[in-house]
Amino acid sequence: MQLRLTKNIQEAVHAALAGEDFPLKYKEEAEQVASISLEKPSGISLDLLKLIAQYLDRSSVEQDRTWFHELIRGTEVYVEPKEPPPKNPEFEAYMEQLRAQQREKEYAKMVSSVVTSEDDKYMYSLRPNELKEIKGHVTTILNIAFSMVAVYVAVYMAAKTMTQDVGTVHS
């Protein structure tokens, strides 16, 4: 397990390395920890930290004693950040192809209402907006005519059920 390196811990590592009888087993790791920049998060092993606390406890006088709980104040468990998985070039190429197709669809949708040729621009010498408006008017007229026929048939059928006389002249 590792703990996040703090300035307090790094100063304790420097103080422990200054002593002559620091164990060689942990000396290399301690030197690495002492030289690490604190700007980027990094860790220190719990075993090394315990050793440093014990070493400082033995080598210091009573007033300058560094307790383990003081040494780890402000730190937390260090979890090394995971490296992002390597990207598959085939998958990236496929994704780029899909993005290009999507951009083409969006572009085609955006320019679909725009007419490009001069012949298509004024069909029947009308602008496209005017043609849509005329289509709307014709539809409205047909709806009114259909409604009138439907009302006539409905009135005729209602009159037929009320009386037998449908209004024809008998000679």
Q: CA 102, 104, 106, 112 torsion: positive or negative? A: negative
Identify residue 129 by its one-letter amino acid code.
Answer: N
Q: How does DSSP classify residue 84?
A: P
Question: Of 69, 68, 62, 59, nearest to 18 (Cα)?
Answer: 59
The per-residue pLDDT for range 19-41, each reduced to its tens digit, is 666 666 767 777 777 777 766 67
Phi-psi sector, 167: left (phi>0), alpha (psi -120 to 50), beta: left
pLDDT value at residue 101: 97
The per-residue pLDDT for range 49-71, each reduced to its tens digit, is 777 776 666 655 555 666 666 66
Determine the 3-state secondary structure of 150 from DSSP: helix
pLDDT value at residue 45: 72
Q: pTM of the predicted model, to two decimals?
A: 0.40
The per-residue pLDDT for range 73-129, each reduced to its tens digit, is 767 666 677 888 888 999 999 999 999 999 999 998 888 777 566 555 565 666 767
- Contacts for 124 with CB less than 8 Å, ≥ 6 apart: 131
How many alpha carbons lie under 13 Å from residue 163 in its C-beta half-sphere?
7
Determine the 3-state secondary structure of 44 from DSSP: strand
**CA–CA separation, 62 and 168 (whole Å):** 130
pLDDT value at residue 82: 81
List own/partner pairs for 83-90 with CB under 8 A and 24 or more apart: none
* DSSP H helical ranges for 19-163: 24-35, 46-59, 68-71, 89-111, 118-121, 128-162
